[in-house]
A and B are shown apart, each in its own frame.
Chain A
Amino acid sequence: MTLAVRDGLRNLGHAPSSPFAALDDAQVVQAFLDGRDRAFDELVARYQVRLLNFIYRTVGDRERAEDLVQEVFIRIYRHLHRFDQTKKFSTWAYTIASNLAKNELRNRSRNPLVLFQTIKRHWEADHRPLQFEDSSSRPDDLFRKRHLRELVEQSVSQLPEHHRVVFVLRELEGKTYEEIAEITGCNLGTVKSRLNRARNNFAAIIQPHLD
């Protein structure tokens, strides 16, 4: 491994005063391909939280989501020289993340042990003592907020896999229909249809609790 690569890896994920901060994604990618390995730090810093939240909301397991985000960056590092730079880097990164998340969900549905371990981790998290986050709010308001938060999280996890990916990309990541179509490999009509069904399902799950 060259010294430059080693130096580039040293500050991974921490780019407080990155010389690449002012560049757009395409310029950062080009800088990396030109041999400036620290440019990869900038890509990690820009996308680690976004990808983590997307994968976490899709698969429902935070620890596993972080593993999958690592896998995304490894694949990006491995294949960046083949990336079509006429396309948006963001879309490519989310496509890799989406495929890994979908594979994770499919593997879980086939492996009861993995599913059990996930449920057990969530059970333990739910049985922690209630903590008040905001001392200025009334306890019953806090309880309602926490209840609503748990409710919407559970509602998302109950959506079918292909609806959930589209729903999270649209509602939480703010992607356009066209971007979602490219990320998921579906046509625009399918994206709209899945999003509509996801929203209807989501509303149907939470409405009885809000009434």
Chain B
Amino acid sequence: MNCCEFREKHSDYSDGLLSPAEHSEAGAHLAACTACRRFDAALRAGLDALRALPRVGVSSAFGARLRRRLRGEFAVRVPVIARWSGAVGTLLLVATVGVIGWDLLESRAAHHGRVGWSSTGWSRASTTVAAAGTVPSYPMPRLVSLDPRVEAFHPMNSILIVEDTFPFTGVAPRRYDVPAVWGGP
């Protein structure tokens, strides 16, 4: 073992982590090498001095200061949470009910044929439903594509753009092929 190898393994040697063979080899090098012996002695003296350093204690105000900080931490958190949780919770509940309700209304409207937005389309559809008294079996508008543009319904236009965006969801309007019974060509 040379000096470089000894220095590399010195930490494990000091802590007794080398194998018996390596430990014995390191010990033999230590006995034979003056430079490494001085290094080992300096390290041990330094570590002894380090461990003999006086332990510092906390100041007399440490406990009171910690107490104040914990009170401040604890006192701030609970009222803030209590103050805002009710309002946020209520808002979330209202928003959730609104979304679900709107969805239900929309699906019911679609089921009963009310997919148009123009007053003509709506009145025609509602008249038809009212007259039939039952859910019409007309073919439903077929989803063609998602188109971010909102276009007005034109009698000659077979494509019906339905603005079905819920104000808070921002879902893009959908395009439907409108069968003639719904006012399409």
Q: Does B83 contact A (CB under 8 A)?
A: no
Q: Does B93 contact A (CB under 8 A)?
A: no
Known contacts A5-B74, A49-B58; decide if A152 and B49 are in contact (CB<8 Å).
Answer: yes
Q: Does A182 contact B (CB under 8 A)?
A: no
Residues of chain A within 8 A (CB-CB) of B28 are none
Residues of chain B within 8 A (CB-CB) of A66 are 58-59, 62
CB distance from B26 to the nearest CB of A (A): 13
Q: How many A-B residue pairs have CB under 8 A?
A: 107
Q: Pick the contact of A172 from B50, B59, B65 — CB < 8 Å?
A: B50
Nearest residue (CB) in A for B47 is: A171
- Number of contact residues on A: which range applies? 35 or more
A158-211, CB < 8 A from B: 171-172, 192, 195-196, 199-200, 202-203, 206-207, 210-211
CB distance from A4 to the nearest CB of B (A): 12
Q: Is the CB of B53 within 8 A of A196?
A: no
Residues of chain B within 8 A (CB-CB) of A62 are 56
Q: Is the CB of B69 within 8 A of A70?
A: yes
Q: Is the CB of A52 within 8 A of B51?
A: no
Q: How far is the CA of A48 from the CA of B59 in the complex (A)?
A: 11
CB distance from B172 to the nearest CB of A (A): 42
Q: Does A14 contact B (CB under 8 A)?
A: yes
CB distance from A26 to the nearest CB of B (A): 22
Kindly supply a per-residue 1/0 record for chain A positions 35-54, scoring 1 wherever the CB is within 8 Å of any chain B CB and 0 otherwise. Answer: 00000000010001100110
Binds A, one of B7-15, B155-163, B173-181: B7-15
Interface SS, B side: helix
Q: Does A28 contact B (CB under 8 A)?
A: no
Binds A, one of B36-44, B114-122, B133-141, B143-151: B36-44
Nearest residue (CB) in A for B14 is: A199
Q: How far is the CA of A62 from the CA of B53 in the complex (A)?
A: 14
Q: Is the CB of A149 within 8 A of B70?
A: no
Residues of chain A within 8 A (CB-CB) of B10 are 196, 199-200
Residues of B within 8 A of A (CB): 7-8, 10-12, 14, 17, 38-39, 42-43, 45-47, 49-53, 55-59, 62-67, 69-71, 73-75, 78
List 5 A-B pairs, minimum CB-CB distance, nearest first: A13-B63, A196-B11, A207-B42, A203-B43, A206-B46
